[in-house]
Structure 1
Amino acid sequence: MQYNIRGKNIQVTDAIRDHVEKKLDRLDRYFEEPLNAEANVTLSVTRNQQSVEVSIPLTGLMLRAEDKNDDMYAAVDLVVDKLERQIRKHKTKLNRKFRQEGSIKSLFKDEAESGAVTVALDEDEEMEVVRTKKFTLKPMDVEEAILQMNLVGHTFFMFANVDTQEVNVVYRRNDGKYGLIEQS
């Protein structure tokens, strides 16, 4: 794997670069062949918060993770753990699909070969809908929707936009600001 490591508001030292490369090299054990991909790593510091963002484009799959911590090395470790969970989850889905279609070829190594430990999930557990809610969408503007979302303590809120007459969703972003999803 090739690495594109850059820093925002931080100087990328050799020690940090070595740590990132060493940790990301752990991902190779999940694949049959060495990854021929470019890992884009962005290290940043904002308000004493160390942030690491990694994206690895693969054929038919985009691995992406982001984490923040007080320590840059800990943030790198947490991001790699998230990427490993994504790979295991995707591997489980792929293997289930291949079993259903009768094919045995897989992009990923068998776990006995890789030494990875995964939690066994029931086939129904991963995609099971555990609750369904129905409600009437009240026409309101975006500001009122944000107030309603905060009032009920949720991180998102669906509403009928009074200006466009379409279904919209407001949500709270990780940076504390708000986002709006509009129907196209």
Structure 2
Amino acid sequence: MEIVVVGRHTEVPTRFRRHVEDKLSKVEQLAPFAQRIDVEVTHEPNPRQAETAERIELTVRDRGPVVRAEASASDRYAALDAATTKLLERLRRVRDRRKTHHNRKDPMPSLDLRPPGAAAGADDRPEIQDHPVAPSERGVAVEAQLGDSPVLIRQKVHEAAPMSVDDALYEMELVGHPFYLFIDAETAQPCVVYRRRGWTYGVIRLDAPVAVPAH
């Protein structure tokens, strides 16, 4: 299993890279078929955000759903500890769900965020553009500044298999996002599931059916 560490707005010393490899050694026990773990280390230079200046984002590329976790802290070692704890818990959910649904005929949809033909370990850091344009390749992030403002827009195209609302909620929890965009397998409508207060969720559907590939 390959571990790819990338720094954004910061340098990542060899010592920390080795610490990351040691810290993520348990991942292989919970995800034996994982091919790659992407580790993104981001430093926020704004002194007003010193308490969350170091952010760690972990993404496991497996044959099943992509599992992601992130955390921020004043120290990158603490951020890594928190992100790893979240990641391992989500990987346990994947393992337990697979055990529960081992007789299920349809496998969980696989979301590969890399562009077609990209080798494991390829650099998928965002491509900087002069103005917002739709990305042309799956899995390749494109960033653009909005006019003369400091606003930065990041876009990425993901490959997504149609799925049920239940599976979409499951995927949302695994990546740790407050929402999840998907195509409903039953209605072929673009939908978004999102968190509400407490243990409630919402679903927004667009009345614009798309063609679902025949199986």
| TM-score w.r.t. length of structure 1 | 0.52
Match of 1:58 in 2: 62
1:90 aligned to which of 63, 71, 94: 94
Counterpart-to-counterpart distance in 2, 1:170 and 1:94: 23
Query: What is the CA RMSD across the aligned residues, in angstroms?
Result: 3.3
Q: Per the alignment, in what secondary structure is the counterpart of residue 10 of structure 2?
A: coil
- The one-letter code of the counterpart of 2:39 is V
**2:34–2:60 CA contact under 8 A, matched in 1:** no
Alignment of 1:1-184 (within 5 A): 1-31=1-31, 33=32, 35=33, 37-46=35-44, 47=46, 48=50, 49-98=53-102, 101=103, 183=206
Q: Per the alignment, in what secondary structure is the counterpart of residue 78 of structure 1?
A: helix
Q: Per the alignment, in what secondary structure is the counterpart of residue 19 of structure 1?
A: helix
Aligned length in residues: 111
Counterpart-to-counterpart distance in 1, 2:93 and 2:192: 30
| 1:41–1:168 Cα change, 3 Å | closer
Counterpart-to-counterpart distance in 1, 2:84 and 2:56: 10
| 1:86–1:168 Cα change, 3 Å | closer
Q: Per the alignment, in what secondary structure is the counterpart of residue 61 of structure 1?
A: coil
1:5 Cα shift? 0.6
Counterpart-to-counterpart distance in 2, 1:58 and 1:41: 15
Structure exhibiting the larger radius of gyration computed from Cα positions = 1
1:182 Cα shift? 7.8
Q: Which stretches of structure 1, 4 residues or longer, exceed 4 Å deviation after superposition?
A: 167-171
- The one-letter code of the counterpart of 1:97 is H
**Relative to total residues, which structure has the larger helix share, 1 or 2?**
1
Counterpart-to-counterpart distance in 2, 1:168 and 1:41: 27
User: Structure 2 stretches of 5 or more lacking a match?
Assistant: 106-165, 167-177, 180-190, 196-203, 209-215
1:74 Cα shift? 0.8
1:80-124 deviation digits (Å, cap 9, x = unpaired): 1111101111112111112xx399xxxxxxxxxxxxxxxxxxxxx
- The one-letter code of the counterpart of 2:84 is V
Counterpart-to-counterpart distance in 1, 2:14 and 2:76: 13
**2:28–2:34 CA contact under 8 A, matched in 1:** no
- The one-letter code of the counterpart of 1:38 is R
Q: Per the alignment, in what secondary structure is the counterpart of residue 90 of structure 1?
A: helix
| 1:5–1:91 Cα change, 3 Å | same
1:139-165 deviation digits (Å, cap 9, x = unpaired): xxxxxxxxxxxxxxxx99xxxxxxxxx
Counterpart-to-counterpart distance in 2, 1:91 and 1:54: 18
| TM-score w.r.t. length of structure 2 | 0.45
**2:56–2:80 CA contact under 8 A, matched in 1:** yes
